[in-house]
Amino acid sequence: MAKLFWLEAILPLGIIAGMLCVMGNAQYYIHKAAHGRPKHIGNDMWDVALDRRDRKIMEHYSAAGN
């Protein structure tokens, strides 16, 4: 029994790891529910500028098609 003393640490570490997974998934689903799509990881100013440009182009072509 003395060799299994490390098992005492498994339960708290499992709880901590489980709660980290729950918090990460909660953030994912809340963001997806609020914005309609998953969060883009590593979104920098260049990506934001390209998204804005693409949105403007799509609005222009959808307005021209009507």
Collapsed DSSP state (helix, strand, coil) of residue 19? helix
pLDDT digits (tens, 9 = 90+) for 18-58: 999 999 999 999 999 998 888 888 889 999 999 999 999 99
Confidence check: pLDDT of 1 > 70: no
Report the pLDDT value the prediction gives residue 14, as an integer from 0 to 100: 94
CB atoms within 10 A of CB 10: 10
Work out the pLDDT band at 66, boundaries 50, 70, 90.
low
Residue 2 has pLDDT above 90, yes or no: no
